[in-house]
Amino acid sequence: MSKLYSKNDQRIKHQPAGQQEEMRYEKIHNVVFDDAQAASLAVAHEIADLITLKQSEGLPCVLGLATGSSPIKVYKELVRLHKEEGLSFKNVITFNLDEYYPMSKQDPQSYWHFMHKHLFDHIDINPANIHIPNGEIPKEQVREYCNQYEDKIQKAGGIDFQLLGIGRTGHIGFNEPGSNINSATRMVTLNKVTKTDAAETFGGYKNVPQKAITMGVGTVLSARRIVLLAWGINKAEIIEKTIEGDISTHIPATFLQEHNNTTFVIDQTAASNLTRFKTPWLVSDYDFKKNYDEITRAVVWLCDRLKKPILGLREEDYLENGLGNLLVEKSAYDMNIKIFNRIQRTITGWPGGKPNADDQYRPERELPHKKRVIIFSPHPDDDVISMGGTFDRLVEQGHEVHIAYQTSGSTAVADTEALRFVEVAHDMLLGKTDVSHLEEVIKILRNKKAGDKETLDVWKLKGNIRRHECYGATRYYNVPDENLHFLNLPFYETQAVEKQPIGEADIKIIEELIRRVKPHQIYAAGDLADPHGTHKVALDGIFAALERLKHEEYMKDCWVWLYRGAWHEWDIHEMEMVVPMTRDQVLRKRQAIFFHQSQKDGAMYMGSDMREFWQRAEERNADTAKRFRELGFAQYEAMEAFRRYFF
């Protein structure tokens, strides 16, 4: 098992000079893994090795622990090591970073509940050695309680290993922007962004506690070893600011630059904004190896930096900005033409292929003229939000379009919205039939509290609301009802916010639909910035089904295109098909999104961006068109972009 080493370890100091050069912008040691699973295993094994070492020395092992989604896989591996390989936790003393306030231990949203569910209930730790801030302490006693928490850490000998996550504000624990480097355990007020990120698990922003008890920055920095975990594109911006930026109270995680034994363990997407990954030509003599994806990325970056169109770049522009090696075999003029043509050929008004046209330089094939298409939509509105213009074009141009809604979307329907629908149904049927069942559902919704698990009837009601919103949008686009497929994948249908991993049953459902339709095109959501994780799980299910089906004869003629959702767009160098939209098509897309009324006017899970989904989509599509225009291409109202996936 690979191990992690801090920046003061000799093996790090003696890195090859080239590698040190690549990391010269970075002020905190970090290790980048392919994915969160591999990273979590490495961290779990470092913790296990420390526990074993301390046992051999007859000493306690003091762990500072974090909550949230980032460490779950670490805890899962520690549990496995205990159950399958005999790792004992009898010498372990734990101190958790934080807890919401006020918060009952029995509340499913409490960190006490989280830690017991994911770790403590499955290992042999002495319950007396578990310390989690108490969210039930009377307010007037909180200050004294926090002082006692600090004293307990000191009496245990200090923290040997501190595990951290990082919030998008740069908070560690609940040390929000403005926290002092010397701060100790205390009560804090939560930042709006932090509360917004927690809104989904609490059933809405208004239900998130205002305050929390947290270890201080100074408490964290007193740990002898610190490992911070970060996964996903949503963490890329704050990771870049923390690792490469200046120390600032506005980003408390930057204080970790002052610690001499800290490692950030991150996946590739979380690391993607670091200079050595985003613009590697700035840190070393970068070898592009005739990789035109990378060359395109560099040329687009140069255009953005200099505010010039591609065909306006000069030789000195390349030379003065670290890209002179692109001109070893080509002149600036030839390079400009090469990249301009490459991007130009991604633009098409015929996403299903243009009939009777030379398709050599088009993103899609000409034949067959009428294609069978499946648009996979993780939530019931992703199809129109993310690719509504392309969807409209495919139908208009005569292709047989099927839409596969992978989940019911029930989680995102507010109780008030569901109550409105069932009350209308009740009033219409009153006096005509037995409405006692509807009255029971109305009673449940009126008395339901935040965090309560959905009853099956309410869950189905919410799913039906979203299903019929889909019918409204697709009928507007003239898609036959029989071409809609509501898959209700089991991983999602938990009647709760927390979902299951993708499973065999999910994959088989997707596989069966593909077998039945035998598509020439598949569109799927490749937006891994989805804060709820549903897109990632839904995409994993599609990829697994494609892997099983790839040897089928009909799959040899199937192309897969990935679209991005409401949170993130492909970079221009990643775009392989770009579909322009007129103003009328933008308005038609807007109307299709409007059919999803339950997601308008303050949908439950907006994330940190408070614009409505139709606004995000329009502004993102308009921004893509603007970027193309600034690079010297024709002016369009808006554009939707896709990247091809090869299986």
* CA–CA gap between residue 19 and residue 395 (Å, rounded): 51
Angle between helix axes 72-85 and 111-118 (nearest 10 degrees) is 40
477-506 pLDDT tens trace: 999 999 999 999 999 998 887 788 899 999
CA of residue 582 relative to chain centroid, distance: 31
Give, in degrees to the nearest 5, the angle at Cα 583 between 606 and 602.
15
Distances (CA, A) of 406 to 189, 255, 604, 614: 38, 43, 19, 21
74-125 pLDDT tens trace: 999 999 999 999 999 999 999 999 999 999 999 999 999 999 999 999 999 9
With beta carbons less than 8 A apart as the criterion, state whether 527 and 565 touch. yes
* H or E stretch covering 36: helix 36-56
Catalytic residue among 171, 259, 485, 535: 171
Catalytic residue among 98, 150, 569, 618: 98
Provide the mean pLDDT of the chain: 93
- For the beta carbon of residue 433, count every other beta carbon within 10 angstroms: 10
Q: Coil, strand, or helix at residue 522?
A: strand
- Tokens, residue 9: 């370890």
- Is 409 a residue whose pLDDT tops 60? yes
591-628 pLDDT tens trace: 999 999 999 876 655 555 668 889 999 999 999 999 99
* CA–CA gap between residue 597 and residue 396 (Å, rounded): 25
With beta carbons less than 8 A apart as the criterion, state whether 507 and 541 touch. yes
* H or E stretch covering 80: helix 72-85
Catalytic residue among 22, 176, 415, 576: 176
With beta carbons less than 8 A apart as the criterion, state whether 126 and 161 touch. no
* CA–CA gap between residue 574 and residue 406 (Å, rounded): 25
pLDDT of res. 421: 96
pLDDT of res. 99: 98
- Is 527 a residue whose pLDDT tops 80? no
User: Is 98 a known active-site residue?
Assistant: yes
pLDDT of res. 580: 98
pLDDT of res. 200: 76
Angle between helix axes 72-85 and 36-56 (nearest 10 degrees) is 50
- Is 468 a residue whose pLDDT tops 70? yes
